[in-house]
A and B are shown apart, each in its own frame.
Chain A
């Protein structure tokens, strides 16, 4: 089932390239059908998933290169299933947003489907090598989407995006090679079990005769893996590729970058760092918390200083993922109450999903706005749009307030649970981080004030409001925001098994 899901978009992309190179209509219809089929499959998985059973479900295991510990191993837990559904939704949203794409549409749509395959593979693979291939594979379509369809500075932004992520990936690769040399395992589940039973440090001591104690080697490996995910998420100060990439990418691609790809980093924290490096994470907890706080606070301030709407929302995206990092780092200690850890991690998962949805929707609105303004998107380029395009303003307003964390919309339950869990676990970090909540309100309301309020900018007097089909396309996204805001159990009910398992990782005492 998971394999079908993973390779379905890939097949779709190949079909487009093979059969529909010339025709935009057939390309986009094929792309849409394949993305829809993926979503249906993801929802079927969701429906068949047993949330109270711990461990991986829908597992598939085939030998690949047994002597090297490499296998084709896929499976999902609550986190995986959540990521699959989110990716499928975000890809559909992005396709809907780029429906009118005119420049080489068939290649564009094929690349989006390739990217979707990369995402599905990343979120299901349980063997490092297998996982790493998809992790890198998703980067390539993303690079070309930015490089070929982006704005004026796309070359530089795409190169920076690619190389920066590459550096992180290489750190990851090296760390896992070392782990393999020490333990002979590439499988995430095996490695996590070894870590649980405290066998990683002895293996390092036996098999890696490097300078330094086994503990410090493990710590070094931890930081290397962390770097890989910190670049991807991103965590301040490894985030500088992001504003440029998000701003230069076409907004439809930015939807994918922020809605789905940025989640790969957080996914890595949860799938790899927490289970495999619990002791190392606990040791590094204080600096990690500082980084998390910086990731929340600095971008929130920086967002207010931006003049380009896409850069504003790009920083906002960093800020929102910062809450995820905060929740994860706060949990990384063996002391502390299991209730609070469960709250923080559940909040993180809610936040992942809801940020993916909201951020994708926001960049969709930007795409719609750019199409109407001929590419202009400065915060000062507009004014009084609410009068001219009331439906657009109203719906984007909903997305903005969802991003701001208004109760009743999808952003609130996650942020509340993160703060609920983090406050007792890392009081100082939570207390500083509320500054981020404040600044989010400041800059988002500034956007509303400058773009939608005030006297009408005469230049846009004739801007058309959302068409019927645009409204229909946006409706499911907006409805989902309300649904999750009012009934978060929809998601929290799926992930409590996974959450309980992480909490167990950190409650049975450390093996030092």
Chain B
């Protein structure tokens, strides 16, 4: 690899590659460690991640002082007389993502030391986690769609490995496969988009001193080209790229893998399936934003809005603490896409960043709950936990309020920016209404979850309680009481809770520092930002929506305490059929089962059939015909020999026939016929030449 770094770029930009490579190296070494070397494995992972965080902060500082795109490109391989180049970049967007990924990642690494303490494959866990972090950081700094795609696939691999981390559980193994295959469906779109882009613009480098595919010349050329159905090429490529983003970010109709991914250990859900990897799709769209035409962005906005509402609906009727959060993640990713579609990079990415903090907080909180309740995940079997685990409860509450968009919490500012942009979108008001209803549902399902988990009295599953009673003959011993988690787990919660509460203030209308930074502009503080027409009334409306959701949640679940795990849900009593449909995830999985999957199975069986009976059958038929001819030839020989030839020949013939029988008779006959045919043809050819 030859480096042609521009001398003017700073030290950190030249060495930016260290940020992803360090965790990858840690993963490589971790893969060679023995299972017993736990401390070393964790130290390596956390150590490399800490260095990456420090480098990311230096990069961030550099981006603050030079808010432009800085790049380093290098040759990767040649084809014919051309070179395929890769490279990395630093711009405000990448800087923000670098800091977020390495910071949240580091916290989750630390938390995992406590959470996975009792797991046999502790060493392997940190190896996979480091590989993930390295690949994700690679996605962030890639200056080439190809390099981004490569890291993106490795991220998918680690997601697969970590979802299936408890591989002895069939459900985990199935979920891992489902995640990989579903995201690959999207990735194939991305691959096609990528090769198309490559063909059209002649490069996959994003920026290359004016010759990159995201720079003025290439983008203008792409927009000018028209392809099938009058669509601009840039629209078509944008939509194909969005396929990949939709797969990774769990957008409709490829969202089905994300809830199942909750089979993985909870820190994995927090890191990969909430904060970072699933946001990679949003990041991808933000990265290639110059390429996205208005039509493509309209599709992004609609898909995002529909996903936001659809997943929020399903989240209402789930009982697994992690599944609720998973559907919530799908829904929030929909908001980010909506933000990108209607508002621009800053709007979507702001929500991505705040969401990373509060959603990883919620997942880690859920992990703390699960850890404290000896692996219980059904919220109906919890209750009253606020007294047993106060830190978890308070931090969870902060995360929940941030997610709901409660005024002044981080999610309030970022979600409001999205709704504001959707409200002002010229093409349709539809996405705004979808998003607003989604916001109401978000507040509702989170209230439901918090009431189920933390309020009321502690509920134990009746079966388990009875078993305990019968075992101990009524002794004073219930199921072990839940306990607060160790400090290695609670400290990350507290830190994340602080961010979940206050992070929004870096992007308020009065001081839109975040948005300006991404745009490379300077910013001043001024309350006049609020005076934009309609902004305050919209904020009031959305606050009202959130409060309504919270109140509805209280009305259904908080007013009367839930006493037994088997009690029907309050909503179930009111609307049983609707509730069941939602609880069964609106039958999307079943629908895929009878359509796509059934079709694929049929295609597989059909291909096997074709092979065996048609292609194989024709060959068989030909072989029978040839054998038949061979037999005819053989009989003719026999008659001739019997009729006229002397006995010496007969001896030879008998010997030959014996041999023939030994060998089943087939090879020889084939060869003989082929040989005769060959001779005949050669004679024909020579004849043809003479004649």
Residues of A at the B interface (CB closer than 8 Å) are: 155, 159-160, 162-164, 166-167, 170, 173-174, 177-178, 181, 207-210, 236-237, 239-241, 243, 298-299, 301-302, 304-306, 338-343, 345-347, 384, 386-387, 394, 401, 406-408, 412-413, 416-417, 419-421, 423-424, 430-431, 434, 437-439, 441-442, 445-446, 448-449, 452-456, 487-489, 492-493, 496, 499-500, 503
Q: Which residues of B contact A170 (CB under 8 A)?
A: 674, 677-678
- A456-B168 in contact given A306-B608, A503-B80 (Cβ < 8 Å): yes
CB distance B80 to A209 under 8 Å? no
- A181-B180 in contact given A301-B606, A420-B199, A488-B77 (Cβ < 8 Å): no
Chain A residue at minimal CB-CB distance from B678 = A170
Q: Which residues of A contact B172 (CB under 8 A)?
A: 453
For chain B, residues 152 to 186, give those with C-beta under 8 angstroms from any C-beta of chain A. 153-154, 157, 160, 164, 167-170, 172-174, 176-177, 180-181, 184-185
Q: A208-B689, A237-B614, A445-B181 are in contact. List 12 more A-B contacts (CB 8 A).
A: A174-B681, A181-B689, A301-B604, A338-B80, A345-B79, A401-B157, A408-B150, A419-B195, A434-B191, A453-B176, A455-B170, A492-B79
Q: Which residues of A contact B491 (CB under 8 A)?
A: none
How far is the CB of B665 from the nearest CB of chain A, in Å?
11
The reply on B615 being an interface residue by CB < 8 A is: yes
CB distance A243 to B167 under 8 Å? no
CB distance A163 to B667 under 8 Å? yes
Q: Which residues of A contact B80 (CB under 8 A)?
A: 338-339, 341-343, 345-346, 496, 499-500, 503
The CA-CA distance from A455 to B31 in the complex, in Å, is: 23
CB distance A178 to B82 under 8 Å? no
Q: Which residues of A contact B150 (CB under 8 A)?
A: 407-408, 412
CB distance A384 to B168 under 8 Å? yes
The CA-CA distance from A386 to B124 in the complex, in Å, is: 13
Query: What are 7 A-B residue pairs whose CB atoms fall within 8 Å in the complex?
Result: A209-B689, A346-B79, A347-B79, A387-B167, A416-B146, A448-B177, A449-B174
Q: Which residues of A contact B606 (CB under 8 A)?
A: 301
The reply on B15 being an interface residue by CB < 8 A is: no
Q: Which residues of A contact B633 (CB under 8 A)?
A: none
The majority secondary structure among interface residues of chain A is helix
Interface centre among B180, B196, B608, B682 (most CB of A within 10 A): B608
For chain B, residues 453 to 498, give those with C-beta under 8 angstroms from any C-beta of chain A. none
The reply on B388 being an interface residue by CB < 8 A is: no
CB distance B157 to A406 under 8 Å? yes
Chain B residue at minimal CB-CB distance from A424 = B199
Interface centre among A446, A449, A487 (most CB of B within 10 A): A449
Chain B residue at minimal CB-CB distance from A423 = B195
The CA-CA distance from A177 to B75 in the complex, in Å, is: 47
Q: Which residues of A contact B681 (CB under 8 A)?
A: 174
CB distance B685 to A181 under 8 Å? yes
For chain B, residues 663 to 691, give those with C-beta under 8 angstroms from any C-beta of chain A. 664, 666-667, 670-671, 674, 677-678, 681-682, 685-686, 688-689, 691
Q: Which residues of B contact A487 (CB under 8 A)?
A: 1, 77
CB distance B616 to A240 under 8 Å? yes
- A449-B615 in contact given A166-B674, A301-B603, A305-B608 (Cβ < 8 Å): no
- A406-B666 in contact given A181-B685, A342-B81, A343-B80 (Cβ < 8 Å): no
The CA-CA distance from A159 to B677 in the complex, in Å, is: 19
CB distance B192 to A441 under 8 Å? no
The CA-CA distance from A448 to B177 in the complex, in Å, is: 9
The CA-CA distance from A298 to B691 in the complex, in Å, is: 46
- A442-B600 in contact given A301-B607, A342-B79, A434-B192 (Cβ < 8 Å): yes
CB distance A452 to B167 under 8 Å? yes
Q: Which residues of B contact A406 (CB under 8 A)?
A: 153-154, 157
CB distance A298 to B180 under 8 Å? no
The reply on B619 being an interface residue by CB < 8 A is: yes
- A208-B688 in contact given A240-B616, A407-B149, A407-B150 (Cβ < 8 Å): yes
Chain A residue at minimal CB-CB distance from B199 = A424
CB distance A420 to B195 under 8 Å? yes
**A453 touches which of B173, B192, B619 (Cβ 8 Å):** B173
The CA-CA distance from A298 to B611 in the complex, in Å, is: 9
Q: Which residues of A contact B191 (CB under 8 A)?
A: 416, 419, 434, 437
**A210 touches which of B77, B81, B678, B688 (Cβ 8 Å):** B688
How far is the CB of A48 from the nearest CB of chain B, in Å?
20
CB distance A207 to B164 under 8 Å? no
How far is the CB of B689 from the nearest CB of chain A, in Å?
5
Q: Which residues of A contact B610 (CB under 8 A)?
A: 298, 302
The CA-CA distance from A348 to B97 in the complex, in Å, is: 37
Chain A residue at minimal CB-CB distance from B688 = A210
The CA-CA distance from A236 to B607 in the complex, in Å, is: 11
CB distance A167 to B77 under 8 Å? no
CB distance A496 to B603 under 8 Å? no
The reply on B188 being an interface residue by CB < 8 A is: yes
The CA-CA distance from A159 to B619 in the complex, in Å, is: 13
Q: Which residues of A contact B623 (CB under 8 A)?
A: 163
The reply on B658 being an interface residue by CB < 8 A is: no
Chain B residue at minimal CB-CB distance from A51 = B78
The CA-CA distance from A302 to B613 in the complex, in Å, is: 13
Contact with A along B10-32 (1 / 0, CB 8 A): 00000000000000000000010
For chain B, residues 80 to 117, give those with C-beta under 8 angstroms from any C-beta of chain A. 80-82
Chain B residue at minimal CB-CB distance from A240 = B616
Q: Which residues of A contact B146 (CB under 8 A)?
A: 416
- A177-B79 in contact given A163-B670, A304-B604 (Cβ < 8 Å): no
